[in-house]
C-alpha cells in the first residue's frame, strides 16, 4: 500500500464543502447559453471546484462549461486515471428542517442538498487528490478529478467530455456505495404523450402537475378542477383522499378548485422506497365524469402505473441473476390545455435487451391509445470483478475497514462509470448507513466522508501506477 498521509483536516474540508453546497446548482435549461449549457447554477459550482483546485496549485481545465478537471501527476504521462464526480443537484423539494443549501451539522451528521449526491463525495475525492500532492507521492499515470454538471438530467456533460478528451485507462465514480459497484442497470427514459382534451363536461381536469426530475419519486402533486360542478366533485375527491389518509390541501383559485397532495421523495432507481404523490392524487380523481382524454391521463396514473414498480402491467417485467429486478419510476407528470406527458425512468437489468424492452413498452403504450413522444437509452455497466483495478479498489477498501473478502455490489442507479471503457462506482456511502440522495433532509455522517477521502487517497496512489 502506498505511503500517503491521508489524514484530512476536518475544518478545511467542511469550509470548502460548505462553499460548494451554498451554490444552488440545479439545472435550468431556460437560462442555458454558450459556456453555461445547463444554466448558471451548475456552471458556478464547477467554477467553484476549479477555483479550489487552482488555489491549491493543481492543473485545472474548463471544458466549455460542460465539465472540468483538476489533475495531479506527470503532465506528459500517456495515461490517466479518472475520478468522476458531479456538482449538479436535484431540486430541494419538500419541507426541509433547515436551509438545503446551507450545511447543517448535528451530532456528527451533515444535512444539505448534495452532501451525499454528489458534492460531499466529490469534495472527499478532491481532498484525497490533495493528500497525494501534499505527500509528494510519485505516480506513473496522471490522476484526474473530472467534475461534471449534468449527471442528474441526462449526462450530456460526459458525452461532451468524451468528445473533447481521451479515454482514461481506468476510473471510478464516488457517487454510490461502498464497497464497490461493478454492475449498473441500463436505463430507458421515455415520455408518454397524451392528447389534448376535447368536448365539454360539467367538470374538467384543467391541469395536473407533479414531479421535477425524471429520476426522483414526486413528493408533491396538484390538480385544478374547473367547470360548473367543480366544487361538487372536488369534495368527492377530497373524501377519497381522507379515506385513504392522504395528506392534502384544497383551495379555490381563479382557475377552479386546486387540490394538492403530499407524498415522499426517493431516488428514481428505488421507486418503492418513496410515495408517488401523482398516484395518490390520480386515485382520488378516477370517478370524476371528465372527458375521455382527461380520463385516459388519470387512468394511466391510477391504474397502469400505480405502484407497479416492476413494469408488469406494461409487459416489461424482467429479472436477472446479476442485477435483479427491472424498476419503473414515473417522475415528471404534466397535463394541461395542450395535453400531457408522463415520464418514465426505467432501470433495466444488465442481461435485458434494451431494444426488446423499448419495443414492448411502445406497443403497450399504443394499446392504451397513447404514444411515446421521446425515448432515450443508456447501456448497462458491467466490469469483471477480477479486473486488476477492481481488485486494487477492493483491497484498499478492505484494508481501511479491517475486512476480508467483501462482497461486491450491483446497483439500479446509474453513475458516470457508464461513460468509461473501464470503470466502477466506488463509495462514498458506507454500508449500513441509508443512502439519502434525492430525499428531503439529505444527510451523511461527516466521519464517513473523511474516511472515504482516506480510502480514495490510497486508491488513487495505487491506481496511479496501474499498468496498461
Could you tell me which residues come within 8 angstroms of residue 142 by beta carbon, excluding any fewer than 6 positions away? 71, 72, 73, 74, 75, 77, 79, 80, 81
Same domain for 330 and 231: yes
Could you tell me which residues come within 8 angstroms of residue 80 by beta carbon, excluding any fewer than 6 positions away? 71, 73, 141, 142, 143, 144, 168, 169
In angstroms, what CA-CA distances link 187 with 99, 204, 347, 439? 32, 35, 5, 21
Strands 170-173 and 80-86, by their bridges, are: parallel
The pLDDT assigned to 106 comes to: 97
DSSP-assigned beta bridge partners for residue 207: 224
Which of these three, 343, 377, 411, is where a domain ends? Answer: 377
Residue 138 within a domain: yes
Which of these three, 377, 396, 427, is where a domain ends? Answer: 377
**Pick the catalytic residue: 16, 151, 294, 462?**
151
Residue 59 within a domain: yes
Same domain for 212 and 138: no
Could you tell me which residues come within 8 angstroms of residue 366 by beta carbon, excluding any fewer than 6 positions away? none
- Would you call 291 exposed, middle or buried from its count of C-beta atoms within 10 A (0-12, 13-18, 19+)? middle
Same domain for 173 and 34: yes
Same domain for 230 and 159: no
Closest CA to 123 of 59, 63, 48: 48
Confirm whether 71 is a catalytic residue. Answer: no
Same domain for 393 and 340: no
Residue 268 within a domain: yes
Same domain for 194 and 299: yes
- pLDDT tens, position by position, for the chain (468 residues)? 457 888 899 999 999 999 999 999 999 999 999 999 999 999 999 999 999 999 999 999 999 999 999 999 999 999 999 999 999 999 998 899 999 999 999 999 999 999 999 999 999 999 999 999 999 999 999 999 999 999 998 899 999 999 999 999 999 999 999 999 999 999 999 999 999 888 888 999 999 999 999 999 999 999 999 999 999 999 999 999 999 999 999 999 999 999 999 999 999 999 999 999 999 999 999 999 999 999 999 999 999 999 999 999 999 999 999 999 999 999 999 999 899 999 999 999 999 999 999 999 999 999 999 999 999 998 999 999 999 999 999 999 999 999 999 999 999 888 999 999 999 999 999 999 999 999 999 999 999 999 999 999 999 999 999 998
Same domain for 223 and 111: no
Confirm whether 294 is a catalytic residue. Answer: no
Residue 4 within a domain: no
**Pick the catalytic residue: 16, 71, 88, 270?**
88
What is the span of the domain harbouring residue 408? Answer: 10-185+381-463
| CA 177 – CA 82 distance, rounded (Å) | 18
Instruction: For residue 156, say if its preceding peptide bond is cis, omega within 30 degrees of 0.
Output: no
Same domain for 311 and 193: yes
Residue 439 within a domain: yes
The pLDDT assigned to 317 comes to: 98
Residue 246 grid coordinates:
392522504
The pLDDT assigned to 2 comes to: 55
Residue 362 within a domain: yes
Which of these three, 334, 357, 377, is where a domain ends? Answer: 377
| CA 338 – CA 206 distance, rounded (Å) | 10
CATH number, position 225: 3.30.70.360
Quote the pTM value.
0.86
Residue 5 within a domain: no
Same domain for 158 and 174: yes
Same domain for 162 and 224: no
Same domain for 167 and 21: yes
Domain count along the chain: 2
Same domain for 350 and 297: yes
CATH number, position 30: 3.40.630.10
The SS3 assignment for 35 reads coil
The SS3 assignment for 445 reads strand
Amino acid at each position: 500500500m502506498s505511503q500517503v498521509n491521508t489524514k484530512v483536516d476536518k475544518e478545511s474540508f467542511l469550509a470548502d464543502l460548505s462553499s460548494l453546497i451554498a451554490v444552488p446548482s440545479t439545472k435550468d435549461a431556460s437560462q442555458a447559453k454558450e459556456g453555461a449549457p445547463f444554466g448558471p447554477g451548475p456552471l458556478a459550482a464547477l467554477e467553484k471546484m476549479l477555483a479550489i483546485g487552482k488555489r491549491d496549485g493543481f492543473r485545472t481545465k474548463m471544458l466549455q462549461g460542460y465539465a472540468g478537471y483538476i489533475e495531479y501527476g506527470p503532465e506528459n504521462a500517456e495515461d490517466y486515471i479518472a475520478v468522476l464526480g458531479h456538482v449538479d443537484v436535484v431540486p430541494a423539494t419538500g419541507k426541509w428542517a433547515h436551509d438545503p443549501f446551507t450545511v447543517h451539522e448535528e451530532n456528527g451528521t451533515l444535512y444539505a442538498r448534495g452532501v451525499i449526491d454528489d458534492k460531499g463525495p466529490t469534495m472527499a475525492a478532491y481532498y484525497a487528490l490533495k493528500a497525494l500532492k501534499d505527500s509528494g507521492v510519485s505516480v506513473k499515470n496522471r490522476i484526474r478529478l473530472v467534475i461534471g454538471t449534468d449527471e442528474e438530467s441526462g449526462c450530456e456533460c460526459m458525452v461532451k467530455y468524451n468528445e473533447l478528451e481521451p479515454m482514461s485507462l481506468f476510473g471510478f465514480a464516488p457517487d454510490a456505495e461502498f464497497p464497490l459497484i461493478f454492475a449498473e442497470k441500463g436505463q430507458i427514459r421515455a415520455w408518454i404523450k397524451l392528447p389534448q382534451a376535447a368536448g365539454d363536461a360539467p367538470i374538467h381536469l384543467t391541469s395536473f402537475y407533479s414531479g421535477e426530475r425524471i429520476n426522483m419519486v414526486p413528493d408533491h402533486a396538484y390538480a385544478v378542477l374547473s367547470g360548473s360542478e367543480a366544487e361538487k366533485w372536488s369534495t368527492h375527491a377530497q373524501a377519497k383522499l381522507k379515506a385513504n389518509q392522504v395528506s392534502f390541501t384544497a383551495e379555490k383559485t381563479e382557475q377552479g378548485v386546486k387540490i394538492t397532495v403530499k407524498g415522499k421523495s426517493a431516488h428514481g432507481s428505488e421507486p418503492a422506497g418513496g410515495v408517488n404523490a401523482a398516484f395518490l392524487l390520480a386515485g382520488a380523481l378516477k370517478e370524476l365524469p371528465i372527458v375521455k382524454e382527461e380520463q385516459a391521463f388519470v387512468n394511466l396514473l391510477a391504474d397502469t402505473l400505480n405502484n407497479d414498480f416492476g413494469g408488469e402491467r406494461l409487459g416489461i417485467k424482467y429479472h436477472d441473476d446479476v442485477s435483479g429486478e427491472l424498476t419503473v419510476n414515473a417522475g415528471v407528470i404534466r397535463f394541461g390545455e395542450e395535453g400531457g406527458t408522463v415520464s418514465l425512468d426505467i432501470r433495466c437489468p444488465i442481461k435485458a435487451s434494451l431494444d426488446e424492452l423499448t419495443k414492448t413498452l411502445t406497443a403497450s403504450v399504443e394499446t392504451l391509445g397513447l404514444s411515446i413522444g421521446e425515448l432515450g437509452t443508456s447501456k448497462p455497466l458491467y466490469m469483471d470483478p477480477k479486473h486488476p483495478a477492481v481488485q486494487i479498489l477492493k483491497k484498499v477498501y478492505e484494508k481501511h475497514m479491517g475486512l476480508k473478502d467483501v462482497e461486491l455490489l450491483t446497483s439500479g442507479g446509474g453513475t458516470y462509470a457508464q461513460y468509461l471503457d473501464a470503470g466502477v462506482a466506488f463509495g462514498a456511502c458506507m454500508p449500513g448507513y441509508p443512502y439519502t440522495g434525492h430525499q428531503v433532509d439529505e444527510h451523511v455522517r461527516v466521519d464517513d466522508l473523511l474516511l472515504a477521502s482516506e480510502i480514495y487517497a490510497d486508491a488513487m496512489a495505487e491506481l496511479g501506477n496501474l499498468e496498461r
